């Protein structure tokens, strides 16, 4: 009888040990596998694009337009040029204007100058002579001079130029639908028409005489930098 009780006690003790071991998960702790020694961590992925594809990250090249000050627009049929650092780029006043810059006023002048680049699209805009003649007719009255026409080279491009002084009345069309332009005495035009791959480009700079004279070399440098799209 004593041996039967001892056997029952041992059986109960063994059963309790088995249950306790199972409840504790066999005495093993859960761990995350560590990478093998000498294995490098996986690099972080580049940010995805809108369609979810990852793209590599790289710095801007040193010749990127936003770093050099070069005017953007190197698409087929367009021109590029380098903007003088003294000029301030402004939002174009109308859709006809490809670019627009404010020229710093010379000491004593009350107004800044303005340089506008017009481009009307492939096959549009007319020939150089007709446009230069039209610009010249905008200078009349007191102090007006005979326009000076000339040609210069920029790389393979032949540029037609005009210079005229006098009382300037801008074309209402060039004002982008603003108020009727008032005549401005003692003004000056430095203009140029550059042949593009598909049509002419028109560079028209106007302002008080002293201001335009002080910006003449900068305008010359801009024209010398003009190149066709590569």
What are the tens digits of pLDDT across the range 8-44? 444 443 344 433 433 334 433 333 334 444 444 333 3
Q: Does residue 224 register a pLDDT over 50?
A: yes
Considering all CA atoms of the chain, what is the largest pairwise distance in Å, rounded to the nearest integer?
A: 141
The DSSP secondary-structure symbol of 70 reads B
pLDDT given at position 176 = 55
What are the tens digits of pLDDT across the range 173-185? 655 556 788 999 9
Of residues 144 and 7, more confidence is placed in 144
Q: Does residue 93 register a pLDDT over 80?
A: yes
Of residues 59 and 131, more confidence is placed in 131
Average pLDDT, the chain: 75
Instruction: Indicate the pairing of strand 97-103 with strand 227-228.
Output: unpaired
The answer to whether residues 93 and 100 touch, using CB atoms and an 8 Å cutoff, is yes
What are the tens digits of pLDDT across the range 153-168? 999 999 999 999 999 9
The sign of the CA dihedral 208, 213, 217, 221 is positive
Domain boundaries, the chain: 107-167+187-230
The answer to whether residues 205 and 190 touch, using CB atoms and an 8 Å cutoff, is yes
Burial class of 220 by CB neighbour count within 10 A (0 to 12, 13 to 18, 19+): middle
Strands (E) in 83-181, as ranges, are: 88-89, 97-103, 113-118, 139-140, 148-154, 157-168
Mean pLDDT computed over 197-212: 97
Is residue 3 very low, low, confident or very high in pLDDT (cuts 50, 70, 90)? very low
pTM above 0.85, yes or no: no
Give dist(CA 178, CA 174) in Å, integer: 9
Of residues 96 and 221, more confidence is placed in 221
Q: Give the HSE-up count for residue 31: Cα atoms under 13 Å, Cβ half-sphere.
A: 6
Task: Single out the residue of 175, 169, 211, 212 nearest to residue 190, CA to CA.
Answer: 212
């Amino acid at each position: 009888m004593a041996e039967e009780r001892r056997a029952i006690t041992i059986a109960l003790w063994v059963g309790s040990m088995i249950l306790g071991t199972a409840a504790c998960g066999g005495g093993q702790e859960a761990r995350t596998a560590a990478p093998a020694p000498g294995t490098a961590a996986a690099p972080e992925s580049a940010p995805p694009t809108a369609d979810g594809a990852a793209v590599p990250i790289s710095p801007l090249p040193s010749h990127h337009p936003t770093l050099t000050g070069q005017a953007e627009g190197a698409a087929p049929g367009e021109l590029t040029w380098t903007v003088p650092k003294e000029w301030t780029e402004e939002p174009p006043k109308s859709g006809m204007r490809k670019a627009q810059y404010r020229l710093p006023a010379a000491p004593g002048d009350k107004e800044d100058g303005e340089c506008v680049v017009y481009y009307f699209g492939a096959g549009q805009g007319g020939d150089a002579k007709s446009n230069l003649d039209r610009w010249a007719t905008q200078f009349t009255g007191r102090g007006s001079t005979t326009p000076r026409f000339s040609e210069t080279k920029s790389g393979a491009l032949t540029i037609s130029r005009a210079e005229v002084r006098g009382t300037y009345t801008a074309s209402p069309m060039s004002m982008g639908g603003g108020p009727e332009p008032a005549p401005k005495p003692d003004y000056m035009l430095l203009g140029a028409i550059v042949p593009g791959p598909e049509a002419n480009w028109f560079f028209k700079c106007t302002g008080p005489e002293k201001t335009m004279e002080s910006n003449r070399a900068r305008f010359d440098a801009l024209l010398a930098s003009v190149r066709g799209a590569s």
